[in-house]
Amino acid sequence: MSDPLPTLSTADALALLVERARALGREPEHVTAGDSILNEGDTNTSLFILLEGTAQLLKRTADGRHTPVDLLGPGSLLGILSFWTGRPAFSDSVAASDLKVLRLDLRDFERGVAEDAEFARVTQQLLVANLSDRYRRVVGLNLKVAGLTKELETERNALREAVEDLQRTRNKLIHQEKLATMGQLLAGIAHEINNPSSALMKNVEQLTRELPVLFAGMPAHAGMLREGMNAPYLSSGEARDRLQLLQERYPNLSRSLCRRLSRLPEAAMEPLSAALSAKNEAELEMLLRIFEVGTALQSIRIAEARMTRLVKSLKSYSRQEERDVQSVRLDDCIRDTLTVMNHRLKLYDLQLEPADLPEVSCRPGEINQILTNLLSNACEATPEGRVITVRTGMEPDAVWVEIEDQGHGIPEDLIEAIFRPNVTTKRGAGDFGLGLGLAISRDLALKHHGRLTAKNRKEGGAVFRLTLPTV
Amino acid sequence: MSQKIYILCVEDEADVLDVVVRELSVLEDVFPIETAGSADEAREALARIEAEGDALGVVFCDHMMPGENGVELLVWMREHPDWNVSRKVLLTGQAGLDATVKAVNEAGLSHYIAKPWDQDELVKVAREQLSRYVAARKLNPLPYLKYLVMDIVGDTLRANSASDT
């Protein structure tokens, strides 16, 4: 067994190879920078040993472009695969700088290995160095690919999150846009109602003023009109008792006549009693009609006052376009929201527990939006006829309003999640069906430097609390 | 004296109830009117009618009311032997599709009037429904004839006249 021969440096190995190749009749050749040494796909019968300079390996891609795949320096073997396997060249080899190469064909190689131990030794060393170098590079590349894949994965996740975020933002914007449109619509309706409503009011005032003048010469008639305009409100129970009493008192009168009489306060019965005992039906009818004109005027006045209140609430409720912060009482926001939502809320037993609160700086339209959302959720959660409580209170430097329902409450594991977009505990599509109500409400609360929190009551049902700072 | 046939009006807003009653009172010399401001009051009114041995011909009922809503009251009446055959009319501006479907399917709704209504329409519906009630119960139509619709009670009238002779 001989000792393993010492490994030569690349420069020594190349110098030795050039020397031994000379014995085979091979001299180093010169290649000018940019010239091609091998073309991908060509048959190749030579092995090129790079002595000086740098060669570029290029690989053709599917779309015909040449992509650089490797740079090789002195000591590298070019055409190594095609030379030994006889298959077409695997890649292009181009001189990246002026080169010196040694070209050997298969016959030279076989002769050299067979006859010259030094030649065999040096080519073997170069081959092993080339192969191990390539292998190391493959391993390095694999590692790089793994790193890139991971990076790509991270980037893809970030991108996915960004898209989801964008979608959420878009949904929110759509929702806000819907609400803003609705606000404008409400303001428009309020404005449109306001004009005929004012006309109505003015005309009723005129009638209220003028009718007594028309009856100036007829004190009994004028009195009936006044009674009508000021007739007290009777609950349906009271009205029925009064009807029954009159039917007993005047058994000969029809039920419908007694019903008409039942609206009159006892004190106003006197002029009618006279007509009744005189059986003066024409006078009785006249007096009753004047009384009823009075009650009609009163009804219009009450209805008109309701409309005015509604219009006022609609206007202040819908001032969403007002971006300015105003100093308002939370009670006013609550009142406006309750008025606007009256048609839904009247199906529930609404309990108000107001505290005496200082004003807060806020955008009232946005606070109304939060309150509407909370009340709307409470209505959906609570069976009709059950209690919904609206409570206000104070803590140091803050005021709060609580909306309490008698529904099933919130599953404990969802108590924070419900404030995230697209999380809903409702089975049907409730509001706009986006599950955004609470997410937007919390955003609005945070924008006001406030808080929106939820908890379950021991007795069942959920409580939402909106807290707003007073300083 | 024959059995009295009542008209019942159920409406939570007193002003509106007043107007309904005023407009229907043209029928009151034959068909007395009872009023209620809620489903519970309606049951009390029905109990009074029953206690007097009288009957309910038709109920005009609002839907959106505090407490029990109108459709629930009508469903309850449908299931109650005394009020099952009474005609049931919804007079409302706010019954959604679900409530209306329930009223038709489960309460045997006879007619639907949307607010705001027209007095002539209201009285016409009342007369038709009262006629159908009289016909359905095969009552002698004579005491109520003044406001009945002949097309509806004609057969019943002939049958009664035949049994009289």
Pair (A221, A310) in one structural domain: yes
3-state secondary structure of A27: coil
B66: chain A residues, CB-CB within 8 Å: 346-347, 349, 385
Report pLDDT for A1. Answer: 42
Worst-scoring range by mean pLDDT, A217-226, B56-65, B153-162? Answer: B153-162
Q: Are A113 and A74 in contact (CB under 8 A)?
A: no
Among candidate residues A115, A143, A163, the one where a domain is terminated: A115
3-state secondary structure of B119: helix
Report pLDDT for A2. Answer: 46
Instruction: Report yes or no: B96 at the A interface, CB cutoff 8 Å.
Output: no
Peptide bond into A421 cis (omega under 30): no
Does A166 reside within a domain? no
Among candidate residues A281, A316, A351, the one where a domain is terminated: A316
Q: Which of B14, B28, B37 minimises the CB distance to A255? A: B28
Pair (A312, A337) in one structural domain: no
Does A459 reside within a domain? yes
Q: Which of A254, A255, A303 minimises the CB distance to B15? A: A303
Q: Which residue has the higher pLDDT, B119 or A421?
A: B119
Does A142 reside within a domain? no
Report pLDDT for A429. Answer: 42
How does DSSP assign A118-177, residue by residue? Answer: HHHHHHHHHHHHHHHHHHHHHHHHHHHHHHHHHHHHHHHHHHHHHHHHHHHHHHHHHHHH
Supply the range of the domain harboring residue A39: 10-115
Q: Are A330 and A353 in contact (CB under 8 A)?
A: no
Q: How many domains does chain B have?
A: 1
Pair (A89, A223) in one structural domain: no
Among A236, A300, A350, most B C-beta atoms within 10 A, so best to mutate, is A236
pLDDT digits (tens, 9 = 90+) for A287-302: 999 999 999 898 888 8
Pair (A375, A413) in one structural domain: yes
**Residue A469 φ/ψ, nearest 5 degrees:** -75, 150
Supply the range of the domain harboring residue B73: 5-164
- To the nearest whole Å, the CA of A301 is away from the closest chain B CA by 11
Does A137 reside within a domain? no
Instruction: Report yes or no: A422 at the B interface, CB cutoff 8 Å.
Output: no
Which residues 248-267 on chain A approach chain B with CB closer than 8 angstroms?
A: 254-256, 259-260
CA A431, A349, A362, A425: dihedral to nearest 10 degrees?
A: -30
What tokens does A4 get? Answer: 């393993």
B94: chain A residues, CB-CB within 8 Å: 343
Does A127 reside within a domain? no
Report pLDDT for A322. Answer: 58
Mean pLDDT of B86-110: 89
Residues found in chain A? 471
Q: Which of A303, A346, A385 minimises the CB distance to B68? A: A385
**What is the pLDDT tens value at each position of chain A, 471 positions in all?**
445 556 788 888 888 889 888 888 889 999 999 999 999 888 888 899 999 999 999 998 888 888 988 889 998 989 888 888 888 988 899 999 999 999 999 888 888 889 888 898 888 888 898 889 889 988 999 999 999 999 999 999 999 999 998 988 888 888 778 877 887 888 888 888 888 888 888 999 999 999 999 988 888 899 999 999 998 888 777 888 898 899 999 888 888 888 889 888 888 888 888 888 888 888 889 999 999 999 989 888 888 888 888 888 887 777 655 567 888 889 888 988 888 888 788 888 899 998 888 999 988 888 988 998 899 999 988 988 889 999 999 999 999 999 999 988 888 888 888 887 766 666 544 444 456 788 888 988 998 999 999 999 888 899 999 999 987
Q: Are B59 and B129 in contact (CB under 8 A)?
A: no
Residue of B nearest to A263 (CA): B18
CA A149, A150, A151, A156: dihedral to nearest 10 degrees?
A: 90
Report pLDDT for A145. Answer: 93
Q: How many domains does chain A have?
A: 3
**Number of other CB atoms surrounding residue A181 within 10 Å:** 11
Pair (A309, A331) in one structural domain: no
Does A335 reside within a domain? yes
Contact call for B28 and A343, based on CB within 8 A: no
Beta-bridged to residue A353, according to DSSP, are A391
Pair (A449, A360) in one structural domain: yes
Beta-bridged to residue A462, according to DSSP, are A456
Instruction: Report yes or no: A233 at the B interface, CB cutoff 8 Å.
Output: yes
Pair (A241, A368) in one structural domain: no
Buried b (16+ CB within 10 A) or exposed e, A403-442: bbbbbebbeeeeeeebbebeebbeeeebbeebbbbbbbbb
Find where tokens 């407490």 sit.
B67
Q: What ipTM does this complex have?
A: 0.73
Pair (A338, A444) in one structural domain: yes
Q: Residue B87 and residue A204: Cα distance in Å, rounded?
A: 39
Q: Which element (helix H / strand E) includes B42? A: helix B39-51
Does A125 reside within a domain? no
pLDDT digits (tens, 9 = 90+) for B19-39: 999 999 999 989 999 999 999
Report pLDDT for A5. Answer: 59
Among candidate residues A91, A115, A139, the one where a domain is terminated: A115
Contact call for A236 and B35, based on CB within 8 A: yes
Pair (A39, A111) in one structural domain: yes
Buried b (16+ CB within 10 A) or exposed e, B135-159: beeebbbeebeeebbeebbeebbee
Pair (A277, A358) in one structural domain: no
Does A178 reside within a domain? no
Instruction: Report yes or no: A385 at the B interface, CB cutoff 8 Å.
Output: yes
Instruction: Report yes or no: A236 at the B interface, CB cutoff 8 Å.
Output: yes
CA A129, A133, A135, A140: dihedral to nearest 10 degrees?
A: 160
Pair (A338, A465) in one structural domain: yes
Report pLDDT for A432. Answer: 43
CATH code of residue B79: 3.40.50.2300
CATH code of residue A332: 3.30.565.10
Pair (A264, A373) in one structural domain: no
Whose CA is closest to B124, among B23, B36, B56, B32? B23
User: Is the alpha carbon torsion for B69, B73, B74, B76 positive or negative?
Assistant: positive
